[in-house]
Amino acid sequence: MPGKLRQVWRNIAVYAWNHPWAKRDRLGTYLRILGWQLRTAFDRTPQEVAWVNGARLCVKKGQAGLTGNIYYGLHEFIDMAFFCHFLRPGDVFADIGANGGSYTVLAAKVAGAHVHAFEPAKETQGTLNANIALNGIADQVELHPVALGREEGERRFTVGRDATNCFAENDDPSASLVSVQTADSALCDKGVVAMKVDVELAEDQVFAGARNLLQEPQLAAIEVETLMDGVREVIEDAGFSERWYDPDVRDLRAAPGQHRSHNHLFVRNEDLVLNRLRTAESLHYGKLTA
């Protein structure tokens, strides 16, 4: 099966059928997929689309992470629903590896939080800025065009990989040079209550530079995509425990449930977290509610 057809098959026949939110309105999901494909068949310019709870997205064809939100409502349903349910107006959220801004928009526009968004890749900073402007949240978002790592300095960073850009080998001639800060230097004393870390297999470097941040008592929730060697130990040594969120019943569980999560969730002060989750307003996308 040719690559493009295989991608369409995966979107329609596999992922859309099984996505924990989108499968509740499969017809609507299929129509959104078809509508997007028709809309962008001959137009690769950025398109503005309605999203969750009045938020909007600026997306162009080929931006897989963002288009997944158009298709399924919340591409990473459990993880995104968790932050929408947990965060409150005035909270401080750190989006480490912000890419095109899905989590930044949810945190700022939908939940009303203040966001520190870290995105070193110039090719995605434009989309991130467009989504910040489109949603009128510029006064709630501080964009940091840097990478976070184990120490201050500069590193080579890949280009041309969209959401999968990452630290590159120093002798890679195609890579760009980016500034690197530590999470401690960038975020300590900012009042961060929750953070998402998605940095393409550099999670160990982020947490190596976040040991003081992890000790701040108001920090209650961390989602991390990949548990590199030692990352779990660093987080758990700071008093966090891994939990699995069920958005349907607004509960945290000690073992995985029926829904698949893209990330690992760690929480501290679980009673406070649960109270927030259970008293949050609902999310709406077409006929879908969570």
- In a shared domain, residues 70 and 97: no
Kindly state the tokens that stand for 241: 């425990």
How many domains in the chain?
Answer: 2
Q: Which of 75, 100, 122 is the last residue of a domain?
A: 75
- In a shared domain, residues 85 and 46: no
- In a shared domain, residues 134 and 234: yes
- In a shared domain, residues 56 and 89: no
- In a shared domain, residues 228 and 136: yes
244: Cα within 13 Å, side-chain hemisphere? 10
For the cut 80, the answer to whether the pLDDT of residue 192 exceeds it is yes
pTM for the predicted model, two decimal places: 0.92
Whether residue 290 lies inside any domain: the answer is: no
Whether residue 254 lies inside any domain: the answer is: yes
Beta strands in 105-227 (DSSP E): 114-118, 141-144, 147-148, 153-157, 176-181, 192-197, 221-224
- In a shared domain, residues 86 and 162: yes
Q: At what angle do helices 26-39 and 64-72 cross, to 10 degrees?
A: 140
Structural domain of 70: 1-75
Whether residue 286 lies inside any domain: the answer is: no
Quickly list H helices, 188-230: 203-208, 211-214
Whether residue 285 lies inside any domain: the answer is: no
State the CATH number of the domain containing residue 222.
Answer: 3.40.50.150
Q: pLDDT of 69-104, one tens digit each?
A: 999 999 999 999 999 999 999 999 999 999 999 999
Beta bridge partners of 192: 92
Radius of gyration of the chain (CA): 18
Whether residue 214 lies inside any domain: the answer is: yes
Q: pLDDT of 229-270, one tens digit each?
A: 899 999 999 999 999 999 999 999 998 877 667 899 999 999
Q: Which of 75, 97, 116 is the last residue of a domain?
A: 75
Beta bridge partners of 92: 114, 192
Residue 103 CA to chain centroid, in angstroms?
A: 4
Q: Which of 30, 46, 75 is the last residue of a domain?
A: 75
- In a shared domain, residues 241 and 255: yes
CA nearest 243: which of 210, 276, 199, 274? 274
Whether residue 148 lies inside any domain: the answer is: yes
- In a shared domain, residues 71 and 111: no
- In a shared domain, residues 176 and 271: yes
Q: pLDDT of 170-182, one tens digit each?
A: 666 666 777 789 9
- In a shared domain, residues 250 and 127: yes
- In a shared domain, residues 10 and 92: no
Q: pLDDT of 113-168, one tens digit each?
A: 999 999 988 888 999 999 999 999 999 999 999 989 888 877 666 555 555 655 65
- In a shared domain, residues 64 and 127: no
